[in-house]
Amino acid sequence: MTKGVPSIRDVADAAGVSTATVSRALSNPGVVTETTRRAVFDAIEQTGYTVNVAARNLRRRETGGVVVLVPNLGNAFFSLILAGIAEVMAEADLNVLIADTAPGVNDERQILDYLGNHRADGLIVLDGMLSADLLLDRGDPRTRAPLVFACEWVEDLVRPAVTIDNVAAARLAVRHLVDLGHRDIGHLAGPPGNVLTATRRAGAEQCLAEAGLDLRDDWFIDGDFSLRSGAAAAERWMALRHRPTALFCASDQMACGFIAALHRAGYSVPRDVSVVGFDDIEFAAHFVPPLTTIHQPRVEIGRTAARMLLRRMEARRMERPDPETTSETLPVRLVVRDSTRRVSV
């Protein structure tokens, strides 16, 4: 047993390898053999050596953490994505800093401060409304922390992303309403300029056109993914002379706001209008009525984005070229509950 504070030299001597091999086994286990790894970690246990993470990160000019940019922390949709990210990063001994990019929470200067000053070894961006210029304004491109998108993306910035097929998912939602016999179908969209708004509306329009149904402008309502905009859409629906019998909402929160406002006014879902949401957030199954919706694998989106970022961070650490800029598309499914019903003949 060594005396005093055990050092990396003590570990190397106990394992019968060089200090460089010990360092590689700790920082990049995949580059050493399983036998060597076992010998090094047995020696660590034997000597009681502990890695000085702060000193190691300082030498590497690393922070030991990643930043996640979220467009609205108050939106329940993001909770399981963040849980998936935190799970993978914890396994890698990395901290996670979450920054809310909602207007009025952090201005552009504050967001730049998160992105610069060596605050993060990597970035996961969930906000597709940020400008490409803002995300790129992070110092020398050669030392810029790698970036991965999750759920949303910025059209003008080519970076790896973890997404679903929003067009196909919207088609799935509207197809369900068509199959139930609905011919008057409306759409409550997300905020203008958002990539999810555009792709989900495109899917809805494609499905309606294929079914030979009218695309009425007054049945396409702008929202912002919030409960409040769902309630406002209910006022719009009630004011219509000719109302759609079904509504596809681009988020569960809007769907729930829409349904709640209708119930307060004396209407019933699905008796007066069938409603489909999007996301399958936790309370969708417990709402009254339980919400028919598109299920997104949110935990797996977070895990996949975190693993993708770790691969790019490792390439940067080892001074290798970045992995190919490829994206991953995860599957979704329709969850049928009580907020939709077949049209009465």
Quote the CA–CA distance of 114 and 103 in Å, as a whole number: 16
Q: Which domains does the chain have, with CATH numbers?
A: 8-51 (no CATH), 63-164+298-330 (3.40.50.2300), 166-295 (3.40.50.2300)
Q: Kindly tell me if the per-residue pLDDT of 257 is higher than 80.
A: yes
| Predicted confidence (pLDDT) at residue 60 exceeds the cutoff of 50 | no
Does the structure show a pLDDT above 90 at 43? no
Lay out the sheet containing 220-222: strands in order across. Answer: 220-222, 185-189, 246-249, 274-276
The whole-number pLDDT of residue 292 equals: 98
Q: In the prediction, which pLDDT does 59 show? A: 42
Mean pLDDT of 57-72: 71
Are 151 and 81 in contact, with CB atoms under 8 Å apart?
Answer: yes
- Dump pLDDT digits (tens) for 88-142: 999 998 999 898 888 766 666 666 666 655 567 889 999 988 888 777 755 555 5
Q: Tell me if 185 sits within 8 A of 220, measured CB to CB.
A: no
Q: How many CB atoms neighbour CB 167 within 10 A?
A: 18
Q: Residue holding tokens 């309630």? A: 231
Question: Residues 190-248: pLDDT tens digits?
Answer: 999 999 999 999 999 999 999 999 888 999 999 999 999 999 999 999 999 999 999 99
Six-digit token string for 244: 């759609």
In this prediction, residue 54 has a pLDDT band, given cuts at 50, 70 and 90, of very low
Six-digit token pair at 305? 């984005």
Q: pLDDT tens for residues 265-315?
A: 999 999 999 999 999 999 999 999 999 999 999 999 999 999 999 998 888
pLDDT at 61 over 80: no
Range from 77-86, 197-206, 316-325 carrying the lowest mean pLDDT: 316-325
pLDDT score at 155: 85
Express as a percent the part of the chain with pLDDT over 90.
58
Cβ neighbors of 82 (< 8 A, separation 6 or more) are 68, 70, 96, 98, 302
At residue 41's C-alpha, the angle toward residues 35 and 45, to 5°, is: 140
CA 10 to each of CA 20, 114, 280, 285: distance values in angstroms, whole numbers, following the listed order:
13, 39, 53, 57
Amino acid at site 236: R
Output the pLDDT for position 141: 58
